Amino acid sequence: MLTKRIIPCLDIKNGRTVKGVNFVDLRDAGDPVELAKQYADYGADELVFLDITATLEARATTLEMVLHVAEQVNIPFTVGGGISSVEHVDALLKNGADKVSINSSAVKRPELVNELADKFGSQCVVVAIDAKEIDGAWKVHLAGGTIPTEIDLFEWAKEVEERGAGEILFTSMNHDGTKGGFANKALARLSEELNIPIIASGGAGNVQHFIDTFTIGKSDAALAASVFHFGEIPIPDLKKELKKHNIEVRL
């Protein structure tokens, strides 16, 4: 049985970690480098950093942050936000990132997935998909969830897998920040239809939600933010509970 992963997500804005509800109402959650080190020490399996504003001016800040994080942690970490070229990915990986996450740029130019997989290998290409269930259909949204499209979540996930993506990071916009649980029905379908790992994101509120996404949702990894940032669920305690439910985790 493959080990399930627990992944804290740090949304970065102007060099700080922030957290909102349904992608809005952001509040400060601390220094990303300090939080990264803390999570690594507490037993997180990986980290994800998303530059949620990703303006051109912030790119230098992001590169500097990646370098500082790489110096402080010994677990894999993924960086995303505004990535649209092989050159940008090259710079992030050279500064110490292990993987990159692409979202809107992949939808606008799907060939980017192929280019990154060919150049750096599928193992470091994560395609993040923000989707919202509207009248029973899951539709992909771009630009931090602000731009709706008619693209179907499942069709898009299959396409990026074929193009060379190594993992899918699926965030349910309906569940994000609500602490009501993950979108397990959609996650289970993704897991059944795809052959690459699926990371669940959006909705973590308690330990049972993690148990459910690994069992009902068949997720390979679970990503969360506020429950970790604000100390509501300590990672060591979470992992012990998962182990009690026969879910294989690294302690």
Q: Catalytic residue among 11, 45, 176, 220, which? A: 11
Residue 237 included in any domain: yes
For 238, residues 6+ apart whose C-beta sits below 8 A from its C-beta are 6, 207, 210
Closest CA to 78 of 110, 118, 114, 36: 36
**Number of structural domains the chain divides into:** 1
Domain housing 236: 5-244
Residue 220 included in any domain: yes
Distances in Å between the Cα of 84 and the Cα atoms of 13, 80, 107, 117 are 18, 10, 11, 13
C-alpha 87/C-alpha 137 separation (Å) is: 36
The residue to which tokens 């280019």 are assigned: 115
Note the pLDDT of residue 90: 96
CA dihedral 178, 19, 13, 147 (to 10 degrees): 10
Note the pLDDT of residue 131: 97
Note the pLDDT of residue 118: 98
Q: Catalytic residue among 45, 130, 212, 220, which? A: 130
Mean pLDDT per 10-residue segment, the chain (251 residues): 91 76 60 92 95 66 89 96 92 97 95 98 97 96 88 98 98 89 98 98 96 98 91 96 97 90
Residue 157 included in any domain: yes
Note the pLDDT of residue 54: 65
**What DSSP element (H or E) covers 238?**
helix 235-244
Note the pLDDT of residue 61: 66
Note the pLDDT of residue 94: 97
Residue 187 belongs to domain with CATH number: 3.20.20.70
Closest CA to 135 of 81, 174, 102: 174
Note the pLDDT of residue 244: 97
| Active site annotation includes 130 | yes
Note the pLDDT of residue 25: 58
Residue 9 included in any domain: yes
Residue 173 included in any domain: yes
Residue 131 included in any domain: yes
The residues facing 238 across adjacent strands are: none
Residue 250 included in any domain: no
Residue 118 included in any domain: yes
